[in-house]
């Protein structure tokens, strides 16, 4: 009889968003007509920008004519998009060759799929609180997981520790859920640590486009030595509203080798075996993000979310609540007032002012007592929620 992957039995129920949905549903049933103010969503609310829409339409039309039709695309990405993304990295002072860039259908897919490159008997370090997919993807593979907690004391940006040495290290900066961002010296410590221990960093840069402080790094490859110990996974989901359209990219340096095996060559082999490339239409839409006009338009959308962040941060400042994030990230991570637990605060906000956020405990045990607000909501909801928070907590 076929034996299934028994590691699935070790997955904990992903109760976070399920519980939030259940609790809000119950509230609405008990209070028909109640108007909820949603600061919990991790999805974007603004549509794709015009430049992308125009490129998508043009690509669709190309598919309608025999002369311009595109069939299977190269598995690792269309050369035009790989070149465009490599060029984009020049803005960060990072020099990449196009064949170091792999076009993907999003960061979530890659964060799990990339594990194909590594021995399943290895270990993985997850800095918590964390995006839940890191833990689950590694449980499915049967890897040993080390959970490195972070706290208000280290600004939710812990450094490496000799007690937490692992083969793979996930670093997410700007971070979901905390919105905290590693600066260059702090990232350098992680790079040095990875090199010292023969570890590999999987750098999740999904929120890099939200960085506004010029001194902060957008890419791990801005850090000296990273080319020999890191992979970067990025996405257009939050950068350009591609959550439903699906497009991302992964950078694997050509010179990245462990035990005589070259990871870039291995990933080419993996992609050519397991995928048939990303749709031509989407790749044309993705390339439009990187034109001058595309960049101007996506920045406008990002500023809209930044304005939401300012509105929430002002409210928290007014009521004296500690928080991190918001400035260089679309998330604000706050300490629940009066020593409330995360779910207790969730219920309190829902019942008293109909504001829905995300309890920090859902991102790892050390998130207990903290709470995440997202800035991806509508302006109306954000303004209303901020005013209600001030009235409730001042």
219 binds ligand PLP (CB under 6 A): no
For residues 105-164, which are near ligand PLP according to CB under 6 A?
106-108, 131
CB of 193 to ligand PLP, least distance (A): 21
Between 59 and 111, CB nearer to ligand PLP: 111
Residues 6+ apart with CB under 8 A from 253: 96, 100, 221, 227, 228, 230, 264
User: Cβ–Cβ contacts within 10 Å for residue 284, how many?
Assistant: 22
Query: Where are any strands of DSSP class E within 181-292?
Result: 200-204, 230-235, 248-251, 257-258, 261-262
Stretch that binds ligand PLP, among 101-109, 154-162, 184-192, 302-310 (CB under 6 A): 101-109
Q: Which is nearer to ligand PLP, 237 or 264 (CB)?
A: 237
Per CB under 6 A, contacts with ligand PLP among 334-373 are none
**Residues in contact with ligand PLP, shown as a per-residue x/- string from 28 to 47 under the rule CB under 6 A:** --------------x-----
Q: How far is the CB of 136 from ligand PLP (least distance, A)?
A: 13
Nearer to ligand PLP, 136 or 204 (CB): 204
- As measured in angstroms, the least distance from the Cβ of 129 to ligand PLP is 11
* Residue 354 tokens, joined: 């109909």
* Residue 272 three-state SS: helix
Handedness of CA 175, 294, 283, 63 (dihedral sign): positive
Residue 280 binds ligand PLP, judged by CB under 6 A: no
- Selected binder of ligand PLP within 56, 85, 115, 172 (CB under 6 A): 172
Q: Checking phi first, is residue 17 left (phi over 0); if not, alpha (psi -120 to 50) or beta?
A: alpha
CA distance 267 to 257: 12
Look up residue 215 and give its DSSP letter. Answer: T
**Cα separation, 64 vs 39, whole angstroms:** 42
Site string for ligand PLP, 254-273 (x = CB under 6 A): --------------------
CB nearer ligand PLP, residue 329 or residue 393: 329
Helix axes 50-62, 292-319, angle to 10 degrees: 140
Rg, the chain, Cα only: 21
**Partners of 201 in beta bridges:** 169, 230
> Whole-angstrom distance between the N-terminal and C-terminal Cα of the chain?
63
Q: Give CA–CA dist 341/9, Å, rounded.
A: 29
In the complex with ligand PLP, which residue's Cβ is closer, 24 or 237? 237
By beta-carbon proximity to ligand PLP, the closer residue of 89 and 207 is: 207
* Residue 181 near ligand PLP by CB under 6 A: no
Q: Does 204 bind ligand PLP (CB under 6 A)?
A: yes
CA dihedral (313, 316, 320, 323) positive or negative: negative
Q: Which stretch binds ligand PLP (CB under 6 A): 83-91, 146-154, 235-243, 255-263?
A: 235-243
Closest C-alpha among 271, 133, 281 to residue 202: 133
Nearer to ligand PLP, 39 or 315 (CB): 39
Residue closer to ligand PLP, measured from CB, 248 or 367: 248
Q: Give whichever of 168 and 393 is closer to ligand PLP, judged by the CB atom.
A: 168
CB of 92 to ligand PLP, least distance (A): 19
CA proximity to 253, closest of 299, 323, 203:
203
Binding site for ligand PLP (CB under 6 A): 42, 106-108, 131, 172, 176, 204, 206, 235, 237, 243, 248
């Amino acid at each position: 009889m076929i034996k299934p992957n028994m590691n699935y039995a070790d997955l904990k129920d992903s109760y976070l968003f399920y519980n939030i949905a259940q609790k809000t549903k119950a509230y609405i049933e008990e209070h028909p007509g109640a108007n909820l103010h949603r600061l919990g969503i991790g999805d974007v609310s603004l549509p794709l920008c015009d430049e992308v829409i125009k490129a998508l339409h043009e690509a669709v039309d190309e598919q309608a004519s025999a002369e311009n039709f595109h069939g299977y695309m190269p598995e690792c990405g269309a050369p035009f998009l790989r070149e465009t993304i490599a060029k984009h990295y020049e803005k960060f002072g990072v020099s990449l060759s196009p064949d170091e860039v792999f076009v993907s259908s999003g960061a979530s897919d890659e964060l799990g799929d990339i594990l194909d490159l590594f021995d399943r008997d290895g270990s993985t370090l997850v800095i918590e609180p964390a995006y839940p997919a890191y833990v689950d993807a590694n449980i499915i593979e049967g890897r040993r997981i080390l959970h490195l907690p972070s706290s208000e004391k280290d600004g939710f940006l812990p450094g490496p520790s000799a007690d937490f040495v692992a083969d793979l290290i996930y670093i997410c900066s700007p971070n979901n859920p905390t919105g905290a961002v590693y600066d260059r010296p702090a990232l350098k410590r992680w790079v040095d640590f990875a090199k010292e221990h023969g570890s590999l960093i999987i750098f999740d840069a999904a929120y890099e486009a939200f960085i506004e402080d010029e001194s902060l790094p957008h890419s791990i490859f801005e850090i000296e030595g990273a080319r020999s110990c890191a992979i970067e996974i990025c996405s257009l989901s939050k950068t350009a509203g591609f959550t439903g359209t699906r497009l991302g990219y992964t950078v694997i340096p050509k010179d990245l080798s462990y035990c005589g095996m070259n990871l870039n060559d291995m990933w080419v082999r993996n992609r050519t075996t397991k995928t048939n490339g990303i749709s031509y239409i989407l790749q044309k839409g993705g390339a439009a993000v990187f034109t001058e006009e595309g960049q101007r338009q996506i920045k406008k959308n990002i500023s809209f979310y930044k304005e939401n962040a300012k509105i929430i941060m002002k409210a928290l400042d007014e009521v004296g609540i500690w928080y991190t994030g918001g400035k260089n990230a679309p998330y604000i991570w706050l300490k629940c007032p009066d020593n409330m637990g995360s779910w207790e605060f969730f219920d309190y906000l829902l019942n008293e002012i109909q504001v829905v956020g995300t309890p920090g405990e859902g991102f790892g045990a050390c998130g207990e007592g903290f709470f995440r607000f997202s800035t991806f909501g509508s302006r109306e909801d954000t303004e209303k929620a901020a005013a209600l928070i001030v009235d409730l907590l001042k």
